[in-house]
Amino acid sequence: MNKTPDRFEPPVPPHHTAGPGLDLQAVLRADSVPPPATLLERSDYVMPVVPIPTARYTDPAYHELEVKHMWSRVWQCAAWSFDMPNPGDTIVYRNVGQSVVLVRQHDGSIKAFENSCPHRGIELCASDSNIHHIRCPYHAFTWSIEGDCRWIPTEWDFPQFDRNNLPLRQVRCETWNGFVFVNFDDNAKPLLDYMGKMVEQWECWDFTTSRYRAVTAIVKCKTNWKSGMDAFLETMHVTATHPQAIQFAADTASQYDVWPDEPHFSRFHSMTGFVSDNSLDPLAEQDGFDLFTGMYLPESFGTPDGDLLPGETIRDGIARLTRQTYKERMNIDTTNVSEAELVDGNEYLLFPNFVLWPSWSNPIFYRFRPGNGPDESIWEISLFVPYEGERPPSGPIIELPEGGKLADLPGFEYLGFLLDQDVANFPQIQNGMKANRSGVLNLARYSDQRIRHYHETLERYIQGTI
């Protein structure tokens, strides 16, 4: 039998046995612009290594447990408040059989109502719009945008109804950082209490005055919503899924933070400007920089701007070009923005499915919602772009056609091809889960601990201990 060629038997990099060779905190402290204090903190807590049952991803019965015990009790992001700036603006949010209509009030507040007529149950609002009143499309029952009943057809025929006592049923609704959340549990703790220390950690990133929603894509995925989430809670997948990035992305040196007393959020920080420890053929710094500019800033590739300056590292060069690009394209001065925010990946998960990046180079928000059962999900990806001066209007919401590519959508030219690489994995992930006869997933101790963390919280909701 022929021996497998050596190129398929790579040597074991030192970090595989001794941990990453790059100290993220040391890099952040050496950057030319200091990062926010919260990014200089690191949790020393590492969760116990326990297997995850594949049934949580594939079993219809577990899907129903999630619907009954978890989705009915958690805070869910339903909208971006600046998508509904005017009185009467509405947004319809649907998830796991629930339907809510959010309505901007005359006083500027937002109310959330059950999107169901108390007469025969039809959805009162089918899509986002601007309305002067809420009118049932089936039999014309009518309410004000405040939820007060204004008209009952053939009122004499409804002795059980009293127009003065037939308001639309409200759903818990609270706002943080411009995002509108709903909760179907009337006894749920307030949103800010639910978020815990994440609120304090985000004090330096105010999206209500600095970001606008430039574009949103909606993708129907053939995978469980948690499989989709898992793909973005770690950077270990970069080497295989995004191999073009390993010459300038330190995927093995990411920092993953969970806290034992914080069940509802976690975060990671991934550095840009260093060769991955997984690269078997590290490029020279200029070659790595050329790879970056060729992919992300082609107008600089092969020009003097695309040459590293004397003494400049790849990280320095990426930061320089990023600052230059923001100034030239958007007239935004990033002199006081740290490299950690400008070029790195900073990502937060708020349980169960709210993922937000304060990063400038990766200005992403996304959420995965379940589809009709465990094998389907709906992925929404938005880009929240920095701005200065007057807030730009929100951008389009685009449904990706089946077989379409995110890279082909307007606004996703920069990140779309990376996201398409992730989407390509989804069907195989779900099929592989079902083929796994052991019935468990064996997660990495550190790199996968954010996955174990949210699974622990999920199971606490299922068991009723949270």
* Phi and psi at residue 274, to the nearest 5°: -135, 150
Residue extent(s) of CATH 3.90.380.10 domains in the chain? 20-51+207-463
Give percent of the chain above pLDDT 70: 96
How far is residue 260 from each of residues 94, 256, 312, 364, 458, measured CA to CA in Å? 32, 13, 40, 27, 15
The answer to whether residues 122 and 137 touch, using CB atoms and an 8 Å cutoff, is yes
Cβ(361)–Cβ(322) under 8 Å?
Answer: yes
- State the DSSP code for 66: I
67's tokens: 């619907």
Q: pLDDT-derived band of residue 4, with 50, 70 and 90 as boundaries?
A: very low
The predicted model scores a pTM of 0.94
Q: Which helix (H) or strand (E) holds 385?
A: strand 373-386
394: left (phi over 0), alpha (psi -120 to 50) or beta: beta
Nearest alpha-carbon partner for 24 in 218, 221, 271, 332: 271
CA distance 381 to 208: 19
- 72-127: per-residue pLDDT in tens? 999 999 999 999 999 999 999 999 999 999 999 999 999 999 999 999 999 999 99
CATH of the structural domain 20-51+207-463, one choice from 3.30.470.30, 3.10.129.10, 3.90.380.10, 3.40.50.2300: 3.90.380.10
Residues 6+ apart with CB under 8 A from 19: none
Overall CATH class of domain 76-187: mainly beta
Chain segment 398-415, per-residue pLDDT in tens? 999 999 999 999 999 889
How far apart are the C-alpha atoms of 389 and 289, rounded to whole Å? Answer: 33
Q: How large is the average pLDDT for residues 361-374?
A: 96
Rg of the chain over Cα atoms, rounded to whole angstroms, equals 24
Cα–chain center distance at 294 = 27
| 8 Å CB contact between 217 and 398 | yes
Question: What string of DSSP letters covers 107-123?
Answer: TS-EEEEESS-TTT---
Is the N-terminal amide bond of 352 cis, ω within 30° of 0? Answer: yes
For residue 140, give Cα distances in angstroms to 113, 134, 159: 17, 9, 18
Residues of the chain with CATH 2.102.10.10: 76-187
